[in-house]
């Protein structure tokens, strides 16, 4: 049996209770060493084998899992954040299915949730934005043309950019070309929830300068949109005059 576990964004106690329990029971752990907090390995039992997938190919990961299965061992595949976001789990799942190896996915706290928490921010403010676009700049992994930053920018909604911290010059140009004002607020969260987390607030115009000055080239999220500003409307849900399933509004009493 293999468990894909979302390790959370960084802080060692932001793994789920289920993820933690399975980690303590694992015989083999294959962890994404480039981003997973290595302190999580302290939760594993004595004799548990640790493999850093940063140095491995997909084939080597699968070979490690196959060997563990043959020895009746339980494997944990530890991915950073939540494995559904840029986690490369689908290609593993398809091979596990072919090999008839059982698996289960245990969700984790994605770094974009960790970043919002660190900022005390809400991505979905009434009358500001009710949608979050999670995307990335094209790097060595291509992004479909129809998902260009420019086309998403036209919505001026909340945007979360993964895997893009070394590409902020081009990113800013695309955001403005698509429709955001150049003074739209931006927050860069480096190593969200890690002990050495850093937060930088800027605008689309000053984003690249901010990245260069602070030497941020990886492990950061770029958050864009007016949810970072000061104007919004309060929610209807907690409005005294608003009636819903669990509460009668004052005006309707």
Residues forming the site for ligand SAH (CB under 6 A) = 9-10, 35, 79-82, 85-87, 110-111, 114-115, 162-163, 189, 191-194, 218-221
Specify whether the CB–CB gap between 75 and 29 falls below 8 A: yes
Q: Which residues pair with 160 in a beta bridge?
A: 134, 223
In degrees and rounded to multiples of 5, residue 151 shows phi and psi of: -70, -40
Give 180 or 194: the residue with its C-beta nearer to ligand SAH. 194
Query: Rounded to the nearest whole angstrom, what is the least distance from the CB of residue 25 to ligand SAH in the complex?
Result: 23
Evaluate the CA torsion angle 160, 162, 168, 170 in order and state its sign. Answer: negative
Give 19 or 114: the residue with its C-beta nearer to ligand SAH. 114
Give 194 or 226: the residue with its C-beta nearer to ligand SAH. 194
Give 93 or 163: the residue with its C-beta nearer to ligand SAH. 163
Give 69 or 82: the residue with its C-beta nearer to ligand SAH. 82
Query: Rounded to the nearest whole angstrom, what is the least distance from the CB of residue 243 to ligand SAH in the complex?
Result: 37
Q: In a 10 Å sphere around its CB, with 0-12 CB exposed, 13-18 middle and 19+ buried, how is residue 178 labelled?
A: middle
Query: Rounded to the nearest whole angstrom, what is the least distance from the CB of residue 86 to ligand SAH in the complex?
Result: 4
Length of the chain measured in residues? 253
Query: Rounded to the nearest whole angstrom, what is the least distance from the CB of residue 51 to ligand SAH in the complex?
Result: 18
Residue 160 sits at the vertex; the CA angle it makes with 158 and 166, to the nearest 5 degrees, is 135
Query: Rounded to the nearest whole angstrom, what is the least distance from the CB of residue 48 to ligand SAH in the complex?
Result: 23
Query: Rounded to the nearest whole angstrom, what is the least distance from the CB of residue 246 to ligand SAH in the complex?
Result: 32
Q: In a 10 Å sphere around its CB, with 0-12 CB exposed, 13-18 middle and 19+ buried, how is residue 1 labelled?
A: middle
Give 139 or 249: the residue with its C-beta nearer to ligand SAH. 139
Chain Cα centroid distance, residue 14:
13
Q: Which helix (H) or strand (E) holds 189?
A: strand 185-190
Roughly how many angstroms between the first and final C-alpha of the chain, as a whole number?
Answer: 56
Give 218 or 244: the residue with its C-beta nearer to ligand SAH. 218
Evaluate the CA torsion angle 146, 219, 55, 170 in order and state its sign. Answer: positive
Query: Rounded to the nearest whole angstrom, what is the least distance from the CB of residue 116 to ligand SAH in the complex?
Result: 11
């Amino acid at each position: 049996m293999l468990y894909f576990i979302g390790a959370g964004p960084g802080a060692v106690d932001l793994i789920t209770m289920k993820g933690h329990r399975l980690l303590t029971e694992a015989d083999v752990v294959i962890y994404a060493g480039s981003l997973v907090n290595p302190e999580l390995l302290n939760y594993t039992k004595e004799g548990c084998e640790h493999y850093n997938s940063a140095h491995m190919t997909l084939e080597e990961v699968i070979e490690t899992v196959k060997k563990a299965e043959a020895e009746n061992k339980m494997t944990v595949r530890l991915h950073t954040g939540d494995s559904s976001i840029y986690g490369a789990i689908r290609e593993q799942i398809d091979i596990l299915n072919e090999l008839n190896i059982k698996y289960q996915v245990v969700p984790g706290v994605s770094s974009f949730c960790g970043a919002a928490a660190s900022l005390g921010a809400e991505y979905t403010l009434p009358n500001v934005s009710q949608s979050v676009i999670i995307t990335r700049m094209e790097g060595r992994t291509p992004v479909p043309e129809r998902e260009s930053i420019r086309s998403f920018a036209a919505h001026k909604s909340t945007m979360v950019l993964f895997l893009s911290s070394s590409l902020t010059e081009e990113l800013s140009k695309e955001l403005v070309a698509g429709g955001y004002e150049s003074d739209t607020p931006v927050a860069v969260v480096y190593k969200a929830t890690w002990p050495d987390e850093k937060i930088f607030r800027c605008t689309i115009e000053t984003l690249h300068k901010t990245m260069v000055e602070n030497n941020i080239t990886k492990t950061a999220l770029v958050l864009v949109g007016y949810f970072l500003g000061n104007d919004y409307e309060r929610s209807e849900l907690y409005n005294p005059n608003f009636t819903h399933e669990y509460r009668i509004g004052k005006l309707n009493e």
